[in-house]
């Protein structure tokens, strides 16, 4: 003999609409704290950096260009690139960070010199020294 039992639809849904709403709220809260909040913090930092730019600051642009700000005119900054004293205009949002002059200087290490010797050979380096 086969017995069939009728079940109500609300009981099998795991608590009705409350069972569906809780995971949805948790997913929204999780996405807010993992994606939206950090993005807002980055935007605030970028606005603060843009507003703090002044003449004399040494900056690194997102393109990798290093220079010193010589003029700030609203959204446009004028950067002087060393050692040729070339002046270029950029939007202030192009600045990735403000650095110290010592941080941006690059000196060849012995590993760099050895790599150049291997790459170009000893003869090329001797020719450079004679000129």
CATH, residue 78: 2.30.30
Q: How many domains does the chain have?
A: 1
Which element (helix H / strand E) includes 112? helix 110-130
- Domain encompassing residue 66: 53-99
CA torsion angle 88 91 94 97 (round to 10): 90
Q: Is residue 29 part of a domain?
A: no
In the predicted model, what is the mean pLDDT of residues 45-49? 89
- 111 vs 30 pLDDT, higher one: 30
Q: Is residue 15 part of a domain?
A: no
- Global confidence as pTM: 0.54
In the predicted model, what is the mean pLDDT of residues 113-117? 79
- 44 vs 18 pLDDT, higher one: 44
Q: Is residue 94 part of a domain?
A: yes
Check if the beta carbon of residue 59 is closer than 8 Å to that of residue 103. Answer: no
Which element (helix H / strand E) includes 41? helix 37-52
Q: Is residue 92 part of a domain?
A: yes
Q: How far is CA 36 from CA 16, 42, 47, 48, 104, in A?
A: 30, 10, 17, 19, 33
Q: Is residue 44 part of a domain?
A: no
């Amino acid at each position: 003999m086969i017995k069939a039992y009728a079940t109500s639809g609300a009981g099998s849904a795991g608590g009705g609409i409350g069972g569906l709403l809780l995971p949805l709220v948790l997913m929204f809260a999780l996405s807010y704290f993992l994606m939206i909040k950090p993005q807002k913090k980055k935007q605030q930092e970028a606005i603060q950096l843009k507003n703090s730019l002044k003449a004399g600051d040494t900056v690194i642009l997102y393109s990798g260009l290093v220079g010193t700000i010589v003029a700030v005119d609203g959204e446009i900054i004028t950067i002087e690139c060393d050692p040729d004293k070339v002046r270029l205009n950029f939007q202030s949002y192009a600045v990735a960070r403000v650095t110290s002059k010592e941080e941006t200087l690059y000196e060849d290490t012995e590993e760099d010199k050895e790599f150049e010797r291997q790459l170009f050979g000893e003869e090329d380096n001797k020719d450079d020294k004679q000129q």
